């Protein structure tokens, strides 16, 4: 993401087409406390992104992706195999949902949007089922296109936009928190405080961008074909609502890890950061249990820990962020272990902040 648009790498295709990217995101510390009035630190991952192209057209068209919205099959076996591996969901529903949410928000807030039509299409290279926020990246990029097409970027506050992205996903029954959408709307490295008083009064948290140069070298571990991503329904949310003291105190500690992590990053105390990352995962594991986390997800964390690397989930599972405090020699050991385990390891590229002057101006209103 860059300073040209609300989603990364804003470009124009032709005279009046609009294209935006939104990158995958990594939860560094503090997740999943974002949905429990906690705090998190996340960053956008330059390695992977979704892009949305908006082209003016006579009719409003949502164009299916040739791969992700595939509807032509050689046989019934191929159809069933695809559904088993990919599920029923492509990006068309996401684009439709953000169009509806955007329209309703503008109507409710008396923001005038002209009656011209457009065609929306998308592409993505974010690996599926890896907990890297692939769905919200598509929605976020589409929202950025709509803001520019209707020329209302200056009228919709940056802090509010993650709520719109989340509302679109909730339309589709996707259960999630604000953390991912904040990271993708802002880009770069962001500290987020979702304290109850902010959420109740403002309807959103307090989001503080941080300098991406504060991050140490990090690596991403994921499986190319995730199969066991934790299929047992978690009871953590209900237990928290019921006042379970273990869950409440553990989630409070997870939130505090983000606060300590912010200090560790500002002071470049990376040995402290490593301990916080490991503690973050241990707390998640104690709350959710191994059956809910899934054997493959736990294996990815343990592969990293085997060589002394710090590791934790990037999201709710599917990929792991790892930090090798001992440097290149430890990274080589991690590469070898990942290869033996059939896992993919890539160096993390951090995408910078994508807020432009119009976006920043909305924060001052």
Q: Could you give the residue numbers annotated as active site? A: 180
Q: Which residues contact 224 (CB under 8 A, 6 or more apart)?
A: 127, 344
Cα 112 vs. chain centroid, distance in angstroms?
Answer: 30
> Alpha-carbon distance 122 to 136, whole Å?
13
Q: Which long-range contacts (CB under 8 A, 24 or more apart) does 288-293 make?
A: 288/234, 288/236, 289/232, 289/234, 291/230, 291/232, 292/230, 292/232, 292/233, 292/234, 292/236, 293/230, 293/317
> Alpha-carbon distance 98 to 91, whole Å?
11
Alpha-carbon Rg for the chain in angstroms: 20
Which DSSP symbol is given to 268?
Answer: T
CA 298 → CA 208, 232, 254, 281, 324, distances in Å? 31, 14, 18, 10, 18
* Tally of CA atoms within 13 A in the half-sphere of 311 that contains its CB: 25
Q: Which two tokens stand for residue 343?
A: 């896992």
> Alpha-carbon distance 250 to 30, whole Å?
11
> Alpha-carbon distance 201 to 159, whole Å?
13
> Alpha-carbon distance 107 to 85, whole Å?
39
Strands 189-193 and 206-210, sheet pairing: antiparallel
Strands 206-210 and 219-222, sheet pairing: unpaired
- Which region holds residue 45: left if phi is over 0, alpha if psi is between -120 and 50, else beta? beta
């Amino acid at each position: 993401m860059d300073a040209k648009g609300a989603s990364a790498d804003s470009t124009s295709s032709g005279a009046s087409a609009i294209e935006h990217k939104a990158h995958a995101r990594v939860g560094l510390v503090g997740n999943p406390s974002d949905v429990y009035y906690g705090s998190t630190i996340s960053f956008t991952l330059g390695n992977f992104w979704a892009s949305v192209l908006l082209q003016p057209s006579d009719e409003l068209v949502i164009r299916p992706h040739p791969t992700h919205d595939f509807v032509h099959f050689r046989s019934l076996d191929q159809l069933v195999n695809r559904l088993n591996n990919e599920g029923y969901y492509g990006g068309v529903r996401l684009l439709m949902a953000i169009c509806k949410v955007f329209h309703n928000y503008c109507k409710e807030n008396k923001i005038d949007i002209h009656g011209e039509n457009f065609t929306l299409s998308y592409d993505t290279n974010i690996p599926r089922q890896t907990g890297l926020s692939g769905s919200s990246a598509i929605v976020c990029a589409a929202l950025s296109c709509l803001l520019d097409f209707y020329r209302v970027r200056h009228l919709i506050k940056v802090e509010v936009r993650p709520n719109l992205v989340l509302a679109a996903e909730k339309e589709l029954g996707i259960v999630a928190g604000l953390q991912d959408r904040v990271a993708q709307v802002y880009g770069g490295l962001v500290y987020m405080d979702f304290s109850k008083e902010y959420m109740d009064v403002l309807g959103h948290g307090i989001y503080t961008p941080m300098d991406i140069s504060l991050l140490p070298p990090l690596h991403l571990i994921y499986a190319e074909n995730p199969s066991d991503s934790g299929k047992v329904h978690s009871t953590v949310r209900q237990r928290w609502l019921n006042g379970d003291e273990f869950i409440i105190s553990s989630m409070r500690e997870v939130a505090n890890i983000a606060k300590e992590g912010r200090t560790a990053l500002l002071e470049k105390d990376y040995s402290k950061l490593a301990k916080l990352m490991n503690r973050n995962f241990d707390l998640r594991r104690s709350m959710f249990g191994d059956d809910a986390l899934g054997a493959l997800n736990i294996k990815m964390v343990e592969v990293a820990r085997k060589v002394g690397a710090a590791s934790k989930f990037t999201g709710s599972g599917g990929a792991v962020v790892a930090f090798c405090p001992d440097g290149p020699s430890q990274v080589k050991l991690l590469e070898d272990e990942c290869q033996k385990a059939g896992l993919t390891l890539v160096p993390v590229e951090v995408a910078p902040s994508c807020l432009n002057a119009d976006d920043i101006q909305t924060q001052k209103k």
